[in-house]
Chains A and B, each alone.
Chain A
Amino acid sequence: DAMVIQNPRYQVTQFGKPVTLSCSQTLNHNVMYWYQQKSSQAPKLLFHYYDKDFNNEADTPDNFQSRRPNTSFCFLDIRSPGLGDAAMYLCATSISYNEQFFGPGTRLTVL
Chain B
Amino acid sequence: GESVGLHLPTLSVQEGDNSIINCAYSNSASDYFIWYKQESGKGPQFIIDIRSNMDKRQGQRVTVLLNKTVKHLSLQIAATQPGDSAVYFCAESLSGNTGKLIFGQGTTLQVKP
Contacts and interface: CB of A to CB of B under 8 A. Distances in A.
B79 interface: no
A41 interface: yes
Bin chain A's interface residue count: 20 to 34
Q: Is the interface of B mostly helix, strand, loop or mixed?
A: loop
Contact of A43 (B42, B44, B99): B44
Nearest to A104: B43
Contacts of A48: 98-100
A103 B2 CA distance: 26
Contact of A42 (B45, B89, B97, B98): B89
Interface in B34-52: 34, 36, 41-46, 49
A45 B97 CA distance: 14
Interface string A17-45: 00000000000000100000011111111
